[in-house]
Structure 1
Amino acid sequence: MTESPNPGRRGPDVTCVELVGGVEKRDLVIEEYDPSWTSAFTEHEHRIRAALGETAKQVEHIGSTSVPGLAAKPIIDILVVVDDVTAEEDYLPQLLDTGYMLRVREPGHRLVRTPELDVHVHILETGDVAADDYLLLRDRLRTDQGDRELYERTKRDLVAQDWPDMNAYSDAKGQVIAEIKQRARDNRG
């Protein structure tokens, strides 16, 4: 454990990545956009807000399923922003009590998911640039057809390869994601 440079934090954060259950090899499938992904997000948003109340400063649908018209892995990604990610007692037991399972504990980020593995809830803290980046990418893909098509092509190319786990697949998209986010930043001003 190490002390965080964020003076608002109440405690130290973890210093390494903990994958609860270890590395998992999963079949990766890209499906055509499904409008029901929005209603699935809404159901989980209500579930999360009911469990966390004011602790959840923000609950956002992120990732490919949040972009109308974009083919995606049928996994709903949700961003939850809390004041202090290290204060797990403020949010983690409540999420676990509603049926989510802890999957990842790493510096500045926690991830819980459904037992069905079809919803991933990313927990970050207020002011974390990663939270802004999730929204930047989502909003760019929603508004720029060229980047949306580039991202979909990239995902389809990558999903055809054999990956040891979903993290390796996600990492392989990193360069294209960085390029899209940079164009979004440039477009801002």
Structure 2
Amino acid sequence: MDSPVRLMHYDPRWKQEFLQTRSGLLHSCDGWVNEVHHIGSTAVSGMIAQPIVDVIAVVKDDAEREQALAESTVLIEGMFFRRQETPMWAAETIVLEKPRGGEPTHRVFLTYAGSPFYHSSLMIAERLQDDRELSLRFETTKVDRWRQGEGDPARYAADKAVFFAHLIEHSD
């Protein structure tokens, strides 16, 4: 089994970490990346989260999309990120992580504007940030499932995926 999932109380430094990461991505990617968004639990003020700052880095969905993704990947790797296996739920992304001491501290989902991952991730992030009752329900569910699964990474990811799938289904 991989290392158990670690959760911690909200850290206000996560917002600053995002802003620094956003600035670095926009500056380093030579105009290929034109949007960067903070997603995941670290983007929701007050929420218990894995201490990993998740961001979406976005290239335009145009004729140069494939080149933009390839060029941006190389440039992001130059920022000490390592490419990771892409999970099925993020099929149209390139996933890169920045580890410090082995555990990732930052994760970039590189995708294109208009991708299904782009739309669903931004919708989920907006709903969790704007709806305090929903974010509390998510946090409670996440922590309960984490305890039941004893921090097992696969089970934790699967449990979150069920919550998100339900949220996406009922987003209309």
Do Structure 1 and Structure 2 share a fold, with TM-score over 0.5? yes
Residue matched to 1:96: 77
Secondary structure at the counterpart of residue 91 of structure 1: helix
Secondary structure at the counterpart of residue 146 of structure 1: helix
Contact 1:101 1:114 in 2 (8 A): yes
Deviation at 1:61, TM superposition (A): 0.5
Deviation at 1:82, TM superposition (A): 1.5
Residue matched to 1:115: 99
Structure 1 length-normalised TM:
0.77
Secondary structure at the counterpart of residue 90 of structure 1: helix
Q: 1:45 aligns with which of 13, 19, 22?
A: 22
Q: Which has a greater percent of helix? A: 2
Residue type of the alignment partner of 1:56 = V
Q: Structure 1: give runs of 5+ residues left out of the alignment.
A: 1-23
Distance in 2 separating the partners of 1:137 and 1:105 = 19
Q: Structure 2: give runs of 5+ residues left out of the alignment.
A: none
Q: 1:125 aligns with which of 108, 112, 125?
A: 112
The size of the alignment, in residue pairs, is 161
Q: Trace 1:20-39 onto structure 2 (pairs within 5 A).
A: 25-39=2-16
Residue matched to 1:8: none
CA offset digits 1:14-48 (Å, max 9, x no partner): xxxxxxxxxx7122122111111000111111111
Distance in 2 separating the partners of 1:159 and 1:131 = 26
Q: 1:171 aligns with which of 158, 167, 170?
A: 158
Q: 1:77 aligns with which of 8, 33, 54?
A: 54
CA RMSD of aligned residues (A): 2.0
Deviation at 1:56, TM superposition (A): 0.7
Distance in 1 separating the partners of 2:154 and 2:77 = 22
Distance in 1 separating the partners of 2:140 and 2:37 = 25
CA offset digits 1:95-137 (Å, max 9, x no partner): 1112111112474211111122110100111210211111111
Deviation at 1:71, TM superposition (A): 1.1
Identity value in percent: 22
Dislocated runs of 4+, deviation >6 Å: none
Secondary structure at the counterpart of residue 68 of structure 1: coil
